[in-house]
């Protein structure tokens, strides 16, 4: 699809389309007109003898100096060059593309006062697939993502470094001179004028882009968590009665919990394994990691809805300092502070760690013959000769341990900077970076649980549910089933990709049909839907985008 860069209608899905799938971007005519109008206001103020911050003054702690007209072009160049001071490994290409698109969106609001040619340059870079080389360290999340955004602005000026477009996808990135790549693409560098330097770097775009991608990924992963948990319950001879809707809504009316319970009930429906011990007295109650899964992953869903609300509001914001007001005046403000995003991403890192932790506990139970209801130790083919999944569980535990460390909030660690002018910063960029790692870890943790639960299910002498059976059948197209010990890393990698790609959910939906149930990202809208073909207490809680469409594509990714 072609994405129209209208700052009032841009959606999460469109951000993902440009960032991850290189969809082209266009600028509507009415948006260009509002950019031109704002630029006229800046040009009028530039001729005034009265100093205006960002137009005719220095920046930050140097804002008291009035800059004469003949030095202002150099001021813009100096700002960008000095602020492009990041170090460390290059940030992922999708993050940089999201950052550039979201900065272009803010430029398109008509609140920043840039020339339309400057906005055009960002769109041209995106459409040409040119990705600035952005280092991982440099942003304090206030005033916005200064160093990452400056690295992009430097390329717009025809300077700095970009990713070598000749490097194949998946290969190690390599930096090359931006000027040469722009010339080859026929893109003319921009000569920045008054106000433009600040307009290109005073934003929360790197934080917001990473939050949107985390929301997109977690919406799928939490449905996968419901699925892998159901497989663990089934294979460990747990009961499905605790997932019946009347035990959740209205008894405990949390949207996410009701949906997670409904997903697990749907996944287990028709299981001969579960039916085979319906009247058994082997357990009065299942362990918490089996019985309380909807309460944990459901709470994670509710946290996701809160974070989506934050992201949706920021996606409609015009983050710059100073900003052009409707009156044509340019006014200083503090909207660049990343606290709202930082808090939301720290919150998500906590719930990701909790979701990973309970998944590891379920896997640990499957390893232990004292608790796995008659299965071999470590699900080994010949325990003693074979070690089975012993070390696969170690790997999962190591991932969970790191994810717990990543749950320590970044937003409480303000470090004063800029000669105490910026004496409280959000650290939102770091909250975003650790959240990305936590999401990757959760993907691997769920993949290992699914791998173990599939093997445990196949060791039972009864048929699994249609949904769980379909997921196992899809997995078996990628990796073999039970048997003697073999090189396990490739099989785990294939299973993790089965989760990451959404293929496990696709296999489940093939057995139930896609389900759609949701509330909008701002918390409003219809709160009813069908989950797996049955009513989930009249509730739904799958993320939907700002335009009301399901956030993550195919179906609502509820099992």
User: Is 278:185 a contact under the CB 8 Å cutoff?
Assistant: no
Active site residue 53: yes
Instruction: Count other C-beta atoms under 10 Å from residue 466's C-beta.
Output: 18
C-alpha closest to that of 336 among 356, 314, 309, 358: 314
394 to 61, 298, 361, 364, 390: CA distances (angstroms): 51, 26, 12, 9, 7
Prior bond of 143 cis (ω within 30°) = yes
- Exposed (0-12), middle (13-18) or buried (19+): which is 337, by Cβ within 10 Å? buried
Backbone angles phi, psi at 508, to 5 degrees: -65, -40
Count of C-beta atoms within a 10 Å radius of residue 485: 14
Alpha-carbon distance of 295 to 301, in angstroms, equals 10
Q: Is the backbone of residue 523 left (phi > 0), alpha (psi -120 to 50) or beta?
A: left
517 Cβ contact partners less than 8 Å away, ≥ 6 residues apart: 259, 528, 529, 530, 531, 536, 539, 540, 541, 542, 556, 558
**Active site residue: 53, 306, 394, 498, which one?**
53
CA atoms within 13 A on the CB side of 190: 25
- Distance CA(148)–CA(141), nearest Å, equals 10
| Catalytic residue positions, numbered | 53
């Amino acid at each position: 699809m072609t994405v129209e860069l209208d700052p009032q209608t841009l959606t999460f899905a469109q951000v993902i389309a440009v960032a991850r799938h290189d969809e082209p971007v266009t600028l509507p005519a009415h948006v260009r007109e509002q950019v031109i109008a704002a630029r006229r206001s800046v040009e009028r103020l530039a001729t005034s003898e009265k100093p205006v911050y960002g137009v005719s003054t220095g920046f930050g702690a140097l804002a008291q100096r009035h800059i004469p007209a003949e030095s202002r072009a150099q001021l813009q160049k100096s700002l960008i060059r000095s602020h492009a001071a990041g170090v460390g490994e290059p940030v992922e290409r999708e993050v940089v593309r999201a950052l550039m698109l979201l900065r272009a969106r803010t430029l398109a609001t008509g609140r920043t006062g840039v020339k339309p040619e400057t906005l055009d340059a960002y769109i041209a870079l995106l459409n040409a697939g040119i990705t600035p080389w952005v280092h991982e360290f440099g942003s304090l999340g206030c005033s916005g993502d200064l160093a990452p955004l400056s690295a992009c602005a430097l390329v717009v000026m025809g300077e700095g470094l970009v990713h070598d477009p000749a490097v194949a996808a998946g290969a190690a990135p390599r930096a090359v001179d931006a000027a040469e790549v722009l010339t080859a693409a026929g893109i003319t560098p921009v000569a920045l004028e008054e106000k433009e330097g600040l307009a290109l770097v005073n934003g929360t775009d790197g934080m917001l882009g990473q939050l949107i991608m985390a929301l997109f990924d977690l919406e799928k992963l939490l449905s996968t968590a419901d699925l892998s948990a159901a497989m663990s319950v089934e294979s460990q001879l747990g009961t499905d009665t605790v997932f019946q809707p009347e035990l959740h809504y209205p008894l405990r009316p949390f949207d996410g919990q009701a949906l997670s319970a409904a997903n697990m009930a749907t996944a287990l429906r028709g299981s001969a394994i579960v039916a085979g011990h319906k009247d058994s007295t082997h357990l009065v109650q299942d362990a918490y990691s089996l019985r309380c899964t909807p309460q944990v992953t459901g709470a994670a869903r509710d946290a996701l809805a809160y974070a989506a609300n934050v992201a949706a509001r920021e996606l409609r914001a015009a983050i710059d300092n100073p900003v052009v007001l409707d009156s044509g005046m340019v006014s200083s403000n503090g909207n660049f502070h990343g606290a709202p995003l930082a808090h939301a991403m720290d919150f998500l890192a906590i719930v990701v760690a909790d979701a990973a932790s309970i998944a590891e506990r379920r896997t640990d139970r499957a390893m232990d013959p004292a608790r796995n209801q008659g299965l071999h130790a470590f699900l080994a083919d010949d325990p003693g000769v074979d070690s089975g999944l012993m070390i696969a569980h170690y790997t999962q535990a190591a991932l969970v341990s790191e994810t717990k460390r990543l749950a320590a909030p970044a937003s409480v660690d303000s470090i004063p900077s800029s000669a105490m002018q910026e004496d409280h910063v959000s650290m939102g960029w770091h909250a975003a970076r650790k959240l990305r790692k936590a999401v990757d870890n959760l993907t691997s943790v769920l993949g290992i649980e699914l791998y173990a639960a599939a093997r445990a299910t196949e060791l039972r002498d009864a048929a699994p549910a249609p949904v769980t059976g379909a997921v196992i059948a899809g997995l078996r197209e990628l990796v073999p089933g039970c048997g003697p010990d073999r090189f396990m890393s490739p099989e785990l990698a294939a299973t993790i990709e089965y989760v990451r790609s959404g293929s496990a959910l696709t296999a489940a939906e093939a057995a139930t049909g896609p389900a759609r149930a949701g509330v909008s990202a701002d918390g409003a809208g219809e709160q009813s839907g069908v989950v797996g073909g049955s009513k989930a207490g009249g509730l739904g809680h799958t993320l939907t985008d700002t335009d009301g469409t399901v956030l993550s594509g195919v179906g609502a990714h509820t099992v």
